[in-house]
């Protein structure tokens, strides 16, 4: 092994160790630079009056994107980052409106999207798909506090009407988990997709890839069909689960990449590639989605059922 390879190996090990620590202590508040804090500060969504974004671009440090809809009768927010994020969210929302946060919608149960549900409950209604509640109650530990399980749940669709706004939540099938919702602001033609659609790099510069949470009912096989249903909705502006503000065209790109990934795995399986060999045989370098071998094997397991 030459020196560079050795160095590369050590760096990889260090990064893996850091990633593990990050996951274990994900609920601890990270120290962010002024530049990072600026990137994560609430801002108006251009051209969409009354809609704001509190950005988030990863699971470990910045959490998920929060959409904030301000009306003259109160505020509706979509997602709420980590268990320690409540004060930060309420402070930032108070910087753009005097109205109280009255409704909190969850795109799914993960700790980086629904982590501060419990803190909002005394003053707001928290609403999620029925599997958000079931997953939170089943999972223990900081990743899903049972205290934060939504008290109001729905199956396929629900709406919140507040002031002059209607906000619609749709459960369109499985994908990232079995409890994913997309949240549509129909009058503003804007959607928050949760982690059914993510895009770009984390704060640390590494690239996000779709995550199938098999322990919570996620699936690769139907994810594209779920995306097709999202694309059938009427919107032009997209707030992904993590990543920058985007357009409908980027969901189509993501959908096509996902279809490519699943098709290539299926083709290898049809040609007799074994579970042990599937990750090494799969070439998805052109998709720019770093997928660990065990995650490719998990997709293999799902598709072989």
The verdict on 180 binding Zn ion (CB under 5 A) reads no
Determine which residue in the list 81, 110, 171, 257 makes contact with Zn ion, applying CB under 5 A.
Answer: 110
Question: Shortest Cβ distance from residue 109 to Zn ion (Å)?
Answer: 8
Between 248-270 and 223-231, two packed helices, what is the crossing angle to 10 degrees?
Answer: 160
Torsions phi, psi for 232 (to 5 deg): -75, -15
Interface region with Zn ion, contact rule CB under 5 A, candidates 46-54, 91-99, 191-199, 292-300: 191-199
Question: Shortest Cβ distance from residue 242 to Zn ion (Å)?
Answer: 8
CB 142 within 8 A of CB 26: yes
Question: Shortest Cβ distance from residue 213 to Zn ion (Å)?
Answer: 7
Contact flags string 64-103 toward Zn ion, x per CB under 5 A: ----------------------------------------
CA gap 121, 149 in Å, rounded: 10
The verdict on 129 binding Zn ion (CB under 5 A) reads no
CA 305 to the chain's CA centroid: 26
Task: Between 58 and 195, name the residue whose CB sits nearer to Zn ion.
Answer: 195
CB 268 within 8 A of CB 83: no
Query: Any residues with CB less than 8 A from the CB of 68 and at least 6 apart, and which?
Result: 42, 51, 52, 53, 54, 75, 76, 77, 78, 93, 96
The verdict on 58 binding Zn ion (CB under 5 A) reads no
The verdict on 257 binding Zn ion (CB under 5 A) reads no
Secondary structure of 62-122 in the HEC alphabet? CECCEEEEEECCEEEEECCCCCCCHHHHHHHHHCCCCCCEEEEECCCCCCCCCCCHHHHCC
CB 284 within 8 A of CB 291: yes
Interface region with Zn ion, contact rule CB under 5 A, candidates 10-18, 82-90, 139-147, 193-201: 193-201
Question: Shortest Cβ distance from residue 198 to Zn ion (Å)?
Answer: 8
Interface region with Zn ion, contact rule CB under 5 A, candidates 44-52, 116-124, 194-202, 280-288: 194-202
Question: Shortest Cβ distance from residue 111 to Zn ion (Å)?
Answer: 9
Determine which residue in the list 58, 79, 180, 195 makes contact with Zn ion, applying CB under 5 A.
Answer: 195
Site of interaction with Zn ion (CB under 5 A): 110, 195
């Amino acid at each position: 092994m030459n020196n560079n390879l050795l160095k590369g190996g050590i760096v990889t090990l260090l990064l893996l160790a850091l990633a593990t620590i990050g996951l274990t202590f994900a609920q601890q508040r990270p120290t962010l630079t002024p530049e990072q804090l600026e990137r994560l500060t609430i801002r108006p969504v251009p051209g969409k009056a009354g809609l704001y974004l509190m950005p988030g671009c990863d699971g470990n440090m910045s959490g998920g994107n929060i959409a904030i809809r301000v009306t003259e009768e109160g505020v509706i927010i979509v997602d709420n980052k980590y268990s320690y994020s409540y004060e930060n969210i309420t402070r930032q929302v108070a910087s753009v409106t005097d109205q109280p946060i009255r409704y909190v919608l969850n795109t799914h149960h993960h700790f980086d999207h629904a982590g501060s549900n419990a803190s909002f409950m005394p003053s707001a209604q928290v609403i999620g798909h029925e599997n958000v509640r079931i997953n939170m109650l089943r999972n223990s530990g900081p990743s899903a506090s049972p205290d934060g399980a939504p008290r109001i749940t729905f199956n396929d669709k629900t709406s919140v009407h507040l002031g002059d706004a209607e906000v619609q939540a749709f459960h369109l099938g499985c994908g990232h988990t079995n409890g994913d919702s997309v949240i549509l602001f129909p009058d503003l033609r804007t959607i928050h997709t949760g982690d059914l659609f993510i895009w770009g790099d984390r704060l640390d510069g590494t690239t996000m890839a779709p995550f199938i949470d098999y322990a919570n009912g996620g699936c690769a096989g139907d994810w594209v069909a779920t995306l097709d249903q999202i694309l059938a909705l009427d919107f032009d502006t997209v707030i992904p689960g993590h990543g920058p503000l985007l357009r409908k065209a980027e969901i189509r790109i993501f959908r096509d990449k996902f279809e490519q990934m699943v098709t290539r795995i299926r083709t290898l399986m049809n040609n007799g590639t074994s579970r042990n060999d599937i990750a090494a045989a799969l070439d998805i370098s052109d998709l720019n989605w770093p997928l660990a071998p065990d995650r490719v094997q998990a997709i293999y397991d799902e598709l072989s059922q």
